[in-house]
Amino acid sequence: MAQAGIHGLVSMAVRRWTPARTWLILGIVLGSLLPDADNLAVAVATLTKSPTEGLHRTFTHSLITIAAVMALFYLVSLFTKQPHWINLGIGLGVGIFLHVLLDLIIWFDGVSILWPIPSWLNLWSGVTPPVWWVKLMLPVELFFFALFFSGMYFMARRQKSDLDYINKLRFWIGLEILLFIVFLVLAFTLSKGFLTIFGAVYLLSLGLAVGVTIRMRTTIEMDMKPIGASLQP
């Protein structure tokens, strides 16, 4: 995971170049966040003492999965005769692709890019980051969640959208910053059990990010519209 908050921030940054289509940018942001939900499968396997190999950066990080997701939402759009479903599917596909691309570029690990076909791709093979860096990057995940929520907060204030939610969003920002500080200390002082505790908090934070994105879809889609334009189906 190349920092889920970074994925969210990058996906929001592309909204200026995104056509004004209902649910399209929503899909891009969600698609950028969701691939790392495969950590839930890793957590379940860990708790049940099952093998974790092949659960992370595989089925949620595959170009074949992207094609399947887009095809599924295309069929849903055909059956419901609602074009916004295909917009969502395209957005999810673009978002997942952005996630995979960032993982390959800025993280010291590979991706099974054509899962289920054996296809592990690692642009950083042969490079081993120092232990302190690995420890630091875990709590920094929580800091980038705070940045992601902050981006949403200032966007909403600027647009005067979702104003009934921004106080709660400010609370989530503060909570993620507090958690970052706590886990930054624990990462370098707690010798046993850190990954279990952090993993639970990380998954809750990721779920919160997905929930906030859906809750603030008006803000996300409003910001990418040209002035005076309206969202198209």
| Tens of pLDDT, residue by residue, the chain (233 residues) | 457 889 999 998 888 888 888 899 999 999 999 999 998 888 888 888 888 888 889 999 999 999 999 999 999 999 999 989 999 999 999 999 999 999 999 888 889 999 999 999 999 888 888 989 989 999 999 999 999 999 999 999 999 999 999 999 999 999 999 999 999 999 999 888 898 899 999 999 999 999 999 999 999 988 554 433 445 56
3-state SS assignment for residue 232: strand
- For residue 105, with 0-12 CB atoms within 10 Å meaning exposed, 13-18 middle and 19 or more buried, which class applies? exposed
Q: What pLDDT is stored for residue 34 in this prediction? A: 95
- DSSP symbols for 12-34: HHGGGGS--BTTHHHHHHHHHHG
Q: What pLDDT is stored for residue 19 in this prediction? A: 86
Q: How many helices (H) and strands (E) are present in the chain, helices listed first? A: 9, 2
The Cα 44–Cα 46 span in angstroms is: 5
Q: What pLDDT is stored for residue 107 in this prediction? A: 82
Q: Which residues of 29-54 are buried (b: 16+ CB within 10 A; e: fewer)?
A: bbbbbbbbebbebbbebbeeeeeeee
| Residue of 204, 215, 133 lying closest to 175 (CA atoms) | 204
Q: Do the Cβ atoms of 218 and 160 come closer than 8 Å?
A: no
Q: What pLDDT is stored for residue 223 in this prediction? A: 55
Q: Do the Cβ atoms of 176 and 142 come closer than 8 Å?
A: yes
Q: DSSP letter at 48?
A: T
